[in-house]
Structure 1
Amino acid sequence: MFYRDGVFWGMHLIWWAIWFVLLGWIFFAPSSSSYDEIEDDDPLTSLKRRFAKGEITKSEYEESKKLLKSDG
């Protein structure tokens, strides 16, 4: 069962290392999105974020804001 030349123990240690790396990757890898980003996904927040980034002008922001508030 246990080889004296070390072949069995060498492969055994390699498999343990593979399992540790795999489990470490599963539990400690950063996720792509957080709960806060998913929760704040309403249209008004997205509009504010786009305005803050400079993707839309102030007039576009005001028009879209009026439109969103009139629908709700």
Structure 2
Amino acid sequence: MYYDNYYYGMTGIWWGLWIVLLFWIFVIPYDIPGQRSKKESAYSILQKRYAEGKITESEYQDKKKILEEELRKS
């Protein structure tokens, strides 16, 4: 059987649900519950601490050297 109003029935509702779902996934900038967030690297944490003034320049250089040595080992 062929219906003239094919896109206005249940199929139209399903298209609307798909559009809302895709919009929610790709456009809305909020975190999706259960989604894994990226961990910050040790180097970026070190840079932030230095920028905020929590550590001195000598501490920064020492810890940076340690991180670079560990990176070379692995």
TM-score by length of 2: 0.45
Larger Rg: 1
**In proportion to residue count, which structure has more helix?**
1
TM-score by length of 1: 0.46
